[in-house]
Amino acid sequence: MNNYYTCVMHPEIKKDRPGICPKCGMALVPAGREMQTPANHSMHHAHMAADLKKRFFVSIAATVPVLLFSPMTQHFLGLGDRLRFNGDSYILFLLSAFVYLYGGLPFTKGLYDELKEKNPGMMTLIGMAISTAFIYSSLVVFGLHGKIFFVETVTLIDIMLLGHWIEMRSIMSASRALEELAKLMPHEVHLVLENGDIKDVPLMELKAGDRILIKPGEKIAADGKITNGMTSINESMLTGESKPVDRKTGGKVIGGSINGEGSITVEVEKTGKGSFISRVIELVRRAQESKSHTQDLANRAAVWLTIIALSAGVITMLVWLLADKEFVFALERAVTVIIITCPHALGLAVPLVVAVSAALAAKNGILIRNRASFEKARGIQAVVFDKTGTLTEGKFGVTDIIGFSEGFKDAEILKYTASVELNSEHPIAKAVVQAAGDRYPVENFRAIPGRGAEGSVNGKKVMVVSPGYLRENNINAADERIEKLKGQGKTVVFLLIDGKIAGAIALADIIRSESRQAVTALKSMGIKCMMLTGDNEQVAKWVSDELGLDEFFAEVLPDGKADKIKEVQGRGLITAMTGDGINDAPALATADVGIAIGAGTDVAIETADIILVKSSPMDVVSLIYLAKSTYTKMIQNLAWATGYNLFAIPLAAGVLYKFGILLSPAAGAVLMTLSTIIVALNAGLLRLKNGRR
């Protein structure tokens, strides 16, 4: 066994005792356990966000005295030399050095890493800017003729820390899905011993061949087959089947599904990596890792801005030296060029818009978890909806009442049925009771496992049974109306009074009222609307016809759902997936944009890029509108944040020097600040635009 401690993010770190990773600050764990939890990446993101937050506030605290001691600030406030004293420049240097070394560490380290990988980007530009300004200013403090740029240095660091903190907060929870998947299984199981005794043991001790007892209402702990008992099982979160499925001895069960009204004994067939849940976890992990990691717009702009800034700085210095200007003047021009190109505005151009749009979205019940996918939402060409819990409410409701006898009206049929079903825990029974409202007293209630229930009502023997019960007892229920309802995929239960069929009640998953509006709105935008479900063909066709969908896929299991998303993507369509169940997790992770219904499972929510808190399909329409507006603001901000350099860089380089126009470092700082303010104000306009829509 390994006897050392390591870091989950930097396994090359090895210590003989517990401690902190010197590279990222995460707690070290015993070797061999570093990859046991799916929360590792989530922990790392959380740590990075907390670290950026701490560095930002500490740096802000040190920036205040830097501003007070700065000659530029004092001159701007009209204080003259009233705050000046011997050695104040050294205090300014020490404070700035602290901000540079502590607050600027993520950027100087990023500069080193990007250059090492020969992939310059935002970190290279920021790192070069703050390092050039700080080193040059420090040389001025210790004797070099020139001007100091400490204010520009520390404020640039502060703003960059703020921007990256905002960015990290928006992505820090993107890898929690696998952790939530692991929570689906119970911690303990009821193990049936050879002598028949029951012993509660940890789930991890379970192995193939063991027998376990599953009590009513409990989660099924592993994949296996029933060796004793009969029950109904809710598999909707795993397979998408909207109604509970009946299972008896010999039937298969899936770990993570929920047992219904009966106790069953299950022989374990698959545990660990071979289980259904583990395969879903693996599908989600692969899909997440295979997502495009294309750099965001700001990083791509930063690459070019880095090249322009460094090239302009070097060229400026060489030109002035060739023009016989003294070295200090040439160096000051070069530094001014690099500083004025510092991406204050660029660093905030995207994070500010994201922060505003995320706040605006949250106010309207749309939570953005993945920025890159949210940006993709503006170009969605196909929306694939899960059925159960997304387009439908995920619960049964009474849709039709069929009378077989003139003596019983619809209200009476419903009332008799609800009277018997009142004592049943089956979801279908609950739907009937809720629809009826009024009931008769019932005596001698008895459940018929997997087939229905019976009791005495008004002195009559009343039974509520499934079609299977009628077949088993050779009771003829042939009726065109019933066949039509079955053809629509609806569930039908029969009311028997004193052994004769008095009526039938049809139930189906209730379609959300907002679903029709959403489909109509999306199709008017030229977006194809599809449905993906594990439910049967008849149910899927009925829902599709009711909503006017372009296409539907039925009887698709979780691994197949991910494949169907790839199939739609293969048609060249930017595809969004909207779902709420565990069975949707791989598809949500595979889609270009994964959208989870907020009332769904934690797994779906943690896998998705965007969460609709109000569980309304209409919010998909709002999301697309917001994504389009957000992208427009990003482009405007990036255009300004980089475009102003077309004017500022030549002025800073001194192209108008012979006309007596020379941009000072202070004026350059004002231009930088102005560009940042413009970017911030423009981001704020997003709120007004979407507030009016």
Pair of tokens at residue 567: 């199939």
| Strands in 230-315 per DSSP E | 231-234, 245-247, 252-253, 258-259, 264-270
**What are the tokens at 392?**
């439908």
Are the beta carbons of 417 and 435 closer than 8 angstroms? no
State the amino acid at position 628 in one-letter form.
K
Instruction: Report the run of H or E that residue 350 belongs to, with start and end.
Output: helix 344-363
Contact at 8 Å (CB) between 126 and 156?
yes
CA atoms of 69 and 266, how far apart (whole Å):
75
Find the length of the chain: 693
Q: Does the active-site annotation cover 386?
A: yes
Burial 342-372 (b: 16+ CB within 10 A, else e): bbbbbbbbbbbbbbbbbebbeeeebbbbbbb
- Give CA separation, 123 vs 19, 275, 299, 355, in Å: 29, 43, 9, 21
What are the Cα distances from residue 620, in Å, to 382, 396, 442, 461, 527?
Answer: 12, 24, 46, 50, 11
Considering the candidates 210, 296, 386, 580, report the single residue annotated as catalytic.
386
Q: How far apart are CA 517 and CA 530, in angstroms?
A: 15
Rounded CA-CA distance 666/675 in Å is: 14
Tell me the three state secondary structure of residue 582: helix
Which pair of tokens denotes residue 423? Answer: 């004592």
Give the H/E segment covering residue 238. Answer: helix 236-239
Tell me the C-alpha distance between 261 and 425, whole Å. 7
- Inter-CA distances, 626 with 114, 207, 346, Å: 33, 50, 22
d(CA 216, CA 213): 10
Q: Which residues are catalytic?
A: 386
